[in-house]
Amino acid sequence: MSKFWSPLVNELKPYVPGEQPKMANLVKLNTNENPFGPSPKVIEAIRAELNDSLRLYPDPEGEALKQTLADYHKVRPEQVFLGNGSDEVLAHIFHGLFQHGKPVLFPDITYSFYPVYCGLYKIEGRTVPLNGNFEINPEDFSGPNGGIIFPNPNAPTGCFLGLEHVETILANNPDSVVVVDEAYVDFGGETAITLVDRHPNLLVTQTLSKARSLAGLRVGFAIGHQDLIEALNRVKNSFNSYPLDRLALAGARAAYEDEAWFRECCTSVISERERVATELESRGFEVLPSKANFVFARHASVGGAELASGLREQGIIVRHFDKPRIAAFLRITIGTPEQNDALISGVRSLVS
């Protein structure tokens, strides 16, 4: 604490990102990065931008990328908002769309940035417990609120909520903005973007960090009714008028122009996810049904912290959350086949 800090800074409890350890021969399965690299077309597009034009500001509206995303998702460009990763998009949502005076609702086990944003923007947050199967119960998201947000698939559980249940939440909250955070939807889920034209209170966020293999580029977006997008643009242009640089804009467009590469990567991750889940279950783990690029698993007799520590000693890093209800679980990113083999071997040595 410093005497120069504002009262707000003194009260903040920042988000803690996944560890980025500096270890040789590391099997890194803790931050949900895609094990397969981006499309070669992305690299080509970025290289093409490495010229004298870098002295110029990028397009503040990212119009070409908005058009690409609009065409891909069959919406209008004015329904698309761009940001530096979906985290920045979410920050603008909390600032510009969620209402003060009523609680914003989100699951009790979910993305831990949500309560951080509540603290930053002085919004009351209220957690809604997942059911005994660690699933969202749509009927629990009702009553007076200043907005609703949840990941789908949820993180860190990986469980997916069907769109018919998303529509139940929307129907029960016609006067609240409902945000569906779809960071992992491409690994087996179904996007709610198809619902935005029927529900003016729906906003869907996505990122290029996961399925598009561009975590290092920082590109995210939201799609929804034009009125919601206009609110986000007002916040953006009061904060940072040029959020995406020339390289990010070019690389993101190229990522959407190589559908075959994208599909192949997703298929490979899904196949490896099912293999890892089967291997873990054969060794006494309960693995929640995942539609993400990770699995959430706990062993019948060996604790989560013990497993995470034992794997670390073998150079395998996974994510352990020392929190109520989930302290026994590990969140394990799906890696390459070789990384997953190392994980399975490491687990076998700890639970045999």
Q: What are the start-end ranges of the H helices in the chain?
A: 7-11, 40-48, 63-73, 85-96, 113-120, 163-172, 226-236, 246-256, 259-281, 304-313, 337-351
**Torsion sign (Cα): 143, 149, 153, 155:** negative
Q: What is the arithmetic mean of pLDDT over 234-251?
A: 95
Banded model confidence at residue 20, pLDDT cuts 50, 70, 90: confident
pLDDT at 314 over 80: yes
Residue among 293, 296, 352 at smallest CA distance from 325:
296
Q: What is the arithmetic mean of pLDDT over 29-45?
A: 97
pLDDT at 17 over 80: no
- 82-112 confidence digits (pLDDT tens): 999 999 999 999 999 999 999 999 999 999 9
pLDDT at 21 over 80: no
pLDDT at 246 over 90: yes
Type of residue at 164: E
Q: What is the dihedral of CA 73, 79, 85, 89, to 10 degrees?
A: -140
What residues have CB less than 8 Å from 105, skipping those under 6 apart? 126, 127, 128, 141, 145, 147, 148, 149
C-alpha–C-alpha distance, residues 243 and 219, integer Å:
9
Residue among 320, 314, 311, 316 at smallest CA distance from 339:
316
- Kindly list the structural domains of the chain, giving each domain's residue range(s) and its CATH number in brackets, ordered by start: 15-37+260-351 (3.90.1150.10), 40-257 (3.40.640.10)
Q: What is the arithmetic mean of pLDDT over 312-319?
A: 96
Type of residue at 232: L
Banded model confidence at residue 1, pLDDT cuts 50, 70, 90: low
Q: What are phi and psi of 106, to 5 degrees?
A: -155, 160
pTM for this prediction: 0.95
Count of all residues that appear for the chain in the document: 352
Distance from CA of residue 219 to its chain's centroid? Answer: 12
Tokens of 340: 């997953």
pLDDT at 4 over 90: no
| Per-residue pLDDT, 16 | 77
Task: Express as a percent the part of the chain with pLDDT over 70.
Answer: 100
Task: Express as a percent the part of the chain with pLDDT over 90.
Answer: 91
- Secondary element (H or E) of residue 126: strand 125-128
